Amino acid sequence: MKHNTQETLQGQEMDSTIKRAMRKPFSDSKIIERANLLRDNDLYFFFRAIEETAASTVTVKGQKQIMIGSNNYLGLTHHPLVKEAAIKAIEKYGTGCTGSRFLNGNLNIHDELDVKLAEYLGHEKAIVFSTGMQANLGALSAICGPKDLMLFDSENHASIIDASRLAIGTTFKYKHNDMSSLEELLESNVSRFNRVIIVADGVFSMTGDILRLPEIVALAKKYGAYVYVDDAHGLGVMGHQGRGTMNHFDVTKDVDFNMGTFSKSFASIGGVISGSADAIDYVRHSARSFMFSASMPPAAVATVSACIDVVTSDDSILANLWSNVEFMRKGFQELGFYTYGSQTPIIPLFVGDDMKAVKMTKYLESKGVFATPVLPPAVPKGEALIRTSYMASHDRADLTKVLEVFAEAKKVFEIPSHLH
């Protein structure tokens, strides 16, 4: 019996050793193989270390580059009033809150920003989260319960996709900005669930498309659904004084939940959910990413508040932004680039081949232009693109240089003028 026990233990140890030896290393994953291939060919474009920033330029490896890969649409990260507000907040409150708003991390300036944002956006109530992604994860997983349904656009942001995985309810996708596809899902599912929530980006982050929000609202009214707009790329840009896509279409009262981020136009980090008083109060007491995350640091809160003050008091900022956008859109069209019909500060340029997009990015960098390639699965296979975006702080000389560099790149890489 003793001998058998020893043999059993030795066998178990051997099995354990074999299992440890068989563990698959992460270095064998396809994504790492792809990254290593780019590194080996000096084409790795991720994690570029920016050493210095100015209004619309950055310094990388000692080289000054014109930044056209940022979401800093209003160019407020270096605005003197915004920087001053952030500094004063640190001096008064310190660098962090060290706890969630739900318990010990709620400052009076958090409450004040909630009120200010609700008024700015045109909703009854608003609540700020520590990041935009946490806002989507927390709000959507809270409002979509086990007997509820989310219907969302196939080109929605990754944070909405992750929120749908976290939510207990059911999720179906409809074709991008296709109202017939959406209505088919509404018609066949609205009677099967307690709540149906239509979820879509206000401005789609890769192509710069604008959501067909008035039609979404009409369908929501017809079928008794809720409307949730992720306006990360619309807040500060669309509508009167940057109040967003729902303001742009004058349907604010018909949007049940509006989400926005501060990491784009508002020069900081954080997110906001706005809506009716009862809905937002429900989110405050239910969203786990709100209840169990440390609150926005004081400097970030003060930055957002100052950005709202600036954009609502200085009309020249949005005027400069849209002037720059129109200049670049017209310029790219004259050069023969396919821009997906973008009507926003996001102007995507179709390239097609993945490696060509990466090589073109490297070429642009060598000419002093910082841009970002977008590859599958972020875009459909065969539709790699260069995503460019523009700021109020770009000057016309820099933008003219960008067009000159792209004109050269189009010839060098034989970029097609049409999607195919």
Residue 84 has a CB neighbour count (10 Å cut-off) of 12
- Between CA 186 and CA 5 the distance in angstroms is 64
Catalytically active residues, by annotation:
205, 233, 264
Contact between 340 and 318 under an 8 Å Cβ cutoff? The reply is no
Largest CA distance in the chain: 89
**Buried-state track 348-363, b at ≥16 Cβ within 10 A, e below 16:** bbbbbbbeebbbbbeb
- DSSP annotation of 23 reads P
Query: DSSP letters along 245-298, please?
Result: HHHHTT-GGG-SEEEEESSSTTSS--EEEEE-HHHHHHHHTT-HHHHTSPPPPH
Residue 299 vs residues 110, 117, 279, 308, 320: alpha-carbon distances, Å = 11, 17, 28, 14, 26
Reading the block at residue 10, the tokens are 């030795």
Length of the chain: 420
Under 8 Å CB-to-CB from 160, ≥6 apart: which residues?
136, 140, 152, 199, 201, 230
For 240, phi then psi, to 5°, come to: -65, 120
Nearest CA-CA partner of 129 in 217, 230, 249, 210: 230
Contact between 147 and 306 under an 8 Å Cβ cutoff? The reply is no
- DSSP annotation of 25 reads P
Contact between 337 and 148 under an 8 Å Cβ cutoff? The reply is no
Reading the block at residue 152, the tokens are 């969302």
